Amino acid sequence: MVFFRVAGIIAFMFFCWGCHSDTAREADVAEDSVSILKKLKKISDEIQADRKAKEIDEIIAGKVRAGFNGNVLVAQKDVIIYQKSFGMASVEDSLLLNADSKFQLASLSKTFTAVAVMKLVEEGKLSLDLTVKDYYPAFPYQGVTIRSLLSHRSGLPYYQYEFDKKVRSQKLYPDNQQLMSWFSSEKPTPRPLNLPDHFFSYNNTNYAVLAALVEKASGMSFDDYLRKKVLWPVDIRDTFAANTKNDSIQINRTFGYQNGRRLQKDFYDDIVGDKGIYSTAPDLLRWYQALRSEAILSKESLREMYTPRSFEYPGLRNYGYGFRLWVNDKQQTDYIYHTGWWKGYNTIMFFDLRDDFVIILLSNKYNRTVYNIRDIINILHGKDRATTVEESILDQ
């Protein structure tokens, strides 16, 4: 079954319908809705959505047989081709997953952090070429720019290893500002991995520091800035940071499982930016549509984010600002995506702006088949284009 959605348009029209009692206005809204649905039905036929849905269903069925437990949403040209839930949100409570279940996005959270940073850059509150020390004078590392953090070229140490003994022995649950304080006060200073901008090295420290900078520059918590300034304006309402004080995160939330058991809260779960965003498959579709339509950031900012920044090693995998990039043999971006893997959660959001499709898989039970999406990509391309993506898109 194929579903239709245009991000925000129909929702906004029905919001207006509920706010105004004018009969003529209600008639206009209804007429516009019918027109949009007719247009989407035409697009659905043109892209052969029903055929693609059947072929995707066969692939997902194989993942379910291999243990996949989660939600899937695949859309093209604003037509939801495939959307299903499989398995449990909470085994202990016998709660089934539904379309609006909230999953920990793990490293897919980095896309939200990068956009929040670029939003502050557009507002003039952050600068890509200023260093962390410009905002945190006691930060002990020289020359680490926001640009180098975004592209994983900072050379900073891994916070998870440097402070692991401290948090576990003292049972501490640090947040981002506490992490910045530790980096500034720890003696001896944790040794950097390299000088800034020497080479690409994927590192969660970069995005934990970026989330702290969002808080510093905005004067708001990371969660508040993200929701109020980035997400709510584009009608993304079910997405939160893990340390949010808003009880809404408990509605339709999931729990992570690995090796048959529920994983408890981790000592680092209150550090966000590198991970820690909870979201739903429908919200991630809106996220894609908001990025595609330049509703949050300018075309120039998005071009910066989607530009490959890592050329030390030849290949088709690259990184921009907060997004992994699959490039062609000319080192131009073909696909934009990010994966996630944290405490039983496996996630991926993968999109192609040319053929206008997005693939979203969210799992709360460890299962590597989440990252095997090549066959789905080829279905969405059709016969005219074969993907260069490998069987597994997972980047270690």
Radius of gyration of the chain (CA): 21
Domains defined along the chain, listed by start: 3-46 (no CATH), 49-381 (3.40.710.10)
The pLDDT value recorded for residue 20 is 46
| Percent of the chain predicted with pLDDT > 90 | 83
Specify the long-range contacts of residues 45-51, CB closer than 8 Å, at least 24 apart.
Answer: 47/76, 47/77, 47/79, 47/81, 47/382, 48/382, 49/2, 49/76, 49/79, 49/81, 50/2
> What is the sign, positive or negative, of the torsion defined by CA atoms of 219, 323, 348, 265?
negative
**Cβ contacts of 136 within 8 Å, gap of 6 or more:** 180, 184, 212, 216
Query: CA 202, CA 395: separation in Å to the nearest integer?
Result: 10
Pull the structure tokens for residue 128. Answer: 């890509």
- Phi, psi at 392, each rounded to 5°: -110, 130
CA 52 to chain centre: 25
| Residues pairing with 296 in the sheet | none
96, 87 Cβ separation under 8 angstroms: yes
Nearby residues of 23 by Cβ (< 8 Å), 6 or more positions away: none
- 3-state SS string for the chain: CCEECCCCHHHHHHHHHHHCCCHHHHHHHHHHHHHHHHHHHHHHHHCCHHHHHHHHHHHHHHHHHCCCCEEEEEEECCEEEEEEEECEEECCCCEECCCCCEEECHHHHHHHHHHHHHHHHHCCCCCCCCEHHHHCCCCCCCCCEHHHHHCCCCCCCCHHHHCHHHHHHHCCCCCHHHHHHHHHHCCCCCCCCCCCCCCCCCCHHHHHHHHHHHHHHHCCCHHHHHHHHHHHHHCCCCCEECCCCCHHHHCCECCCEECCEECCCCCCCCCCCCCCEEECHHHHHHHHHHHHCCCCCCHHHHHHHCCCCCCCCCCCEEECCCCEEEECCCCCEEEEEEEEEECCEEEEEEEECCCCEEEEEEECECCHHHHCCHHHHHHHHCCCCCCCCCCCCCCC
For residue 243, what pLDDT is reported?
A: 73
Q: What's the pLDDT at 28?
A: 65
Global pTM reads 0.92
Rounded-to-integer distance, Cα 396 and Cα 393, Å: 10
pLDDT in tens, 39-64: 888 999 999 999 999 999 999 999 99
List pLDDT tens digits, range 177-231: 999 999 999 999 999 999 999 999 999 999 999 999 999 999 999 999 999 999 9
Contact between 2 and 54 under an 8 Å Cβ cutoff? The reply is: no
List, for the chain, all residue ranges whose pLDDT scores fall below the cut of 50.
Answer: 4-20
How far is Cα of residue 221 from the mean position of the Cα atoms in its chain? 19
For tokens 């989607």, name the residue. Answer: 306
Which amino acid type is present at position 310?
S
Q: What is the pLDDT of residue 16?
A: 36
Quote the pLDDT of residue 150: 98
Nearest to 156, CA basis, from 195, 109, 117: 195
pLDDT at 245: 64
Q: What is the number of residues in the chain?
A: 396
